[in-house]
Amino acid sequence: DVKVTQSSRYLVKRTGEKVFLECVQDMDHENMFWYRQDPGLGLRLIYFSYDVKMKEKGDIPEGYSVSREKKERFSLILESASTNQTSMYLCASSRGSPLHFGNGTRLTVT
Amino acid sequence: GENVEQHPSTLSVQEGDSAVIKCTYSDSASNYFPWYKQELGKRPQLIIDIRSNVGEKKDQRIAVTLNKTAKHFSLHITETQPEDSAVYFCAASKGNQAGTALIFGKGTTLSVSS
């Protein structure tokens, strides 16, 4: 069974802090994704990666960056956290289809 | 950019009734259309998917239909049960490459009352 692990379930950060959200998958998947989930807005794609050191912008990349130094790990970085980045962040991985999601990180920025 | 519209946003049915959720997509290159179910506090889980070379797919009480010409697809749940209560998301592939990202609809909250 595919396992996608997000390092934190809940995270509280202050405005202006640099925040790292970590995601690790154990199935040697090439593709990894970061989405944010907000009530009434569904899942919105932030960034994705098809291979190590490769990244593509999704629909809402502003204020975020990513890092993929190893195949199994995909990090989402909030360079300077703002209150409008308070959300549930979901990581996913795949080889082809379908996407397999992690349990999510609920980030609160105060 | 690519867009997926999903309706209705909420749906309430009696146990045993059928439920239908509809989605439309904008990217003509999309060729993969999955449906995810998310129970409260849990991760989204794939329940059924369909590719563009197929018009309909069924798995027990769940079926999905696809009309590529009209760019819309639908989820049909028959004989609904209380455990079907959840948020359902449709999605369309961003282009037609294998493993490409998915664009999701905004979700439908299905409530099944007994």
Which pLDDT tens digit goes with each residue over B80-89?
999 999 999 9
Q: Is B40 near chain A, with CB under 8 Å? A: no
Q: Count of A–B CB contacts within 8 Å?
A: 57
On the question of pLDDT at A2 being above 80, the answer is no
**The pLDDT of residue B96:** 78
C-alpha span between A48 and A33 (Å, rounded)? 4
Beta bridge partners of B103: B92
Residue in this structure with the two tokens 């439309």, named with its chain if needed: B24
**Chain A from 38 to 77: CB within 8 A of any B CB:** 40-45, 48, 50, 56, 58-59
pLDDT tier at B109 (50, 70, 90 boundaries)? very high
Q: What is the pLDDT of residues A20-68, one digit of tens each?
A: 999 999 999 999 999 999 999 999 999 999 999 999 999 999 999 999 9
Chain B: closest CA distance from residue A81 (Å): 24
Q: Work out the minimum CA distance from A3 to partner chain B, whole angstroms.
A: 12
Across the range B12-39, mean pLDDT stands at 96
**pLDDT value for A103:** 95
d(CA B53, CA A15): 48
Residue type, A35: Y
Contact A44 B104 (CB under 8 A): yes
Q: Which of A28, A43, A45, A59 to mutate to test the interface with B (most CBs of B within 10 A)?
A: A43
